[in-house]
Structure 1
Amino acid sequence: MPEEEGAAPLRDAVDDIVDQWKAARPEIATGPMALIGRIKRFHAHVETALREYFAEHGLDVSEFDVLATLRRSGEPYELNAGALLRSAMVTSGAITNRVDRLAAKGLVERRPSPTDRRAVLIGLTPAGRRLVDDIVLGHVRNEERLVAVLSPEEREQLTVLLRKLLAAQGDTRLL
């Protein structure tokens, strides 16, 4: 949303940090610092909103990520640990812990792969599928609330720019 003509420019907490740096070290170009600072601060707000929403449903963010990854993988809603690992970008120990917690809750189950006796498949249980299907729309509404201040055009611009930044870091493939 553009600022109204004649209104004081919109300021945020990062502006104060940048002002302090400009006073302390005026030779430093603070543009990248301001951009990354805003991304980090917004990320903190997003993480808080997601954590609170999923806690209402007995999950944490990482557990929902596993359930959602399995759900969007399509029938039969199962993947091997390696595919889950690549999706989550965490250590194998972290995936094991997530799957263990979800299995204890009856939301996922492990079973041997029919095509590779060394591999284990992790799949949604019927309860896991019901849960993820029940809460995903509320999750999207929660995310909508977080970006509601942006117009559709601004959202698209931001999407394009963030995609460009991610691609430049090599973050171009999920699985």
Structure 2
Amino acid sequence: MTDTQWRADENGGSPSADTADAATADPVVALEHEMIAVTRRFRRLIAERSRAVHPRLDPVCYPMLLMLRRADAVAMSDLLTELAIEKSTLTRRIDSAARLGLVERIPDPDDARARLVALDPGCRRKLDEILENETELWRGRLADWSAADIRELTALLQRLGESMD
């Protein structure tokens, strides 16, 4: 399937009728089409969430903020491992978020030479609010799904993710 055969619709990238027939014939092709559509929608959601945190926040920084939200402070080495990015890329993202007042570098109590990265308390509160609202939106989107269907989708997504590592 070429990029020219793929026509994104207004809802974030569903396949056109031409490609839908081809995708139906091959379940792997159908999966690929749906994954592309879902990826486009998630990119849009991440961009919206990033703007909600700060109007000038680059969406590529958002996953880092979510990781920092799970801990009081995180070592750069842990961020590098979790985010699977280069050190220079991480440094730029931290610098960018720090300039916006969203994160700060603090001394590592276990190593005087090292620094940890921590969320600013205001950023943490904003992320908590955004994620709480997003959870409610997901509850609405999945209101007609059974709990078993949600668990099955979760398990299948985990399995798919593991196969991609």
Aligning the two structures, in what range does the TM-score lie when normalised by the shorter sequence?
0.7 to 0.9
Q: Distance in 2 between matches of 1:154 and 1:14?
A: 27
Whichever residue aligns with residue 77 of structure 2, its letter is: G
The 3 A distance-change label for structure 1 pair 50 and 136 is: same
Residue 59 of structure 2 corresponds to residue 61 of structure 1 = yes
> Which deviations, in whole Å up to 9, do the C-alpha atoms of 1:66-122 show, x marking residues without a partner?
22212212xxx1001111122222222222122111111222111232322442211
When Rg is computed on C-alpha atoms for both structures, the one with the higher figure is 1
Aligned residue in 1 for 2:28:
32
- For these two proteins, the number of residue pairs brought into alignment is 150
Q: Distance in 2 between matches of 1:117 and 1:108?
A: 20
Native 8 Å contact 1:110 1:122 kept in 2: yes
On the 8 A contact 1:64/1:132 being kept in 2, the answer is no
**Alignment-derived partner of residue 43 in structure 1:** 39
Higher helix share: 2
1:40-85 residue CA offsets vs partner (Å, 9 max, x unmatched): 2111112212312331331343333222212212xxx100111112
**What percentage of aligned pairs have identical amino acids?**
28
Q: What's 1:19 paired with?
A: 21
**TM-score when normalising by structure 2:** 0.74
Q: Which of 77, 95, 116 matches 1:121? A: 116
Corresponding position of 1:99: 94
Structure-2 change in CA distance of 1:141 and 1:85 (3 Å):
farther
**Structure 2 residue ranges without an equivalent (≥5):** 1-13
**2:82 is the counterpart of 1:87:** yes
In structure 2, the partner of 1:7 is none
Whether contact under 8 Å (2:74, 2:117) holds in the other structure is yes
Partners of 1:109 and 1:123 within 8 A in 2? yes
Check 1:146–1:61 CA distance in 2 against 1; reply closer, same or farther (3 A cut).
Answer: farther
TM-score by length of 1: 0.70
2:7 maps to what in 1? none
Provide the residue aligned with 1:133 in structure 2: 128
Question: Residue 102 of structure 2 contacts residue 119 of structure 2 at CA under 8 Å; is this kept in 1?
Answer: yes
Unpaired runs of 5+ residues, structure 1, are 1-11, 23-28, 171-175
**Inter-partner Cα distance in structure 2 for 1:16 and 1:146:** 28
**Aligned-CA RMSD value:** 2.7
CA drift at 1:131: 2.3
Specify which structure has the bigger relative contact order, considering alpha-carbon pairs within 8 angstroms and separated by 6 or more residues: 1
Residue of structure 2 equivalent to 1:72? 70
How far apart, CA to CA, are the structure 2 residues paired with 1:51 and 1:36?
Answer: 23
1:134-153 paired onto structure 2 within 5 Å: 134-144=129-139, 147=142, 150-153=145-148
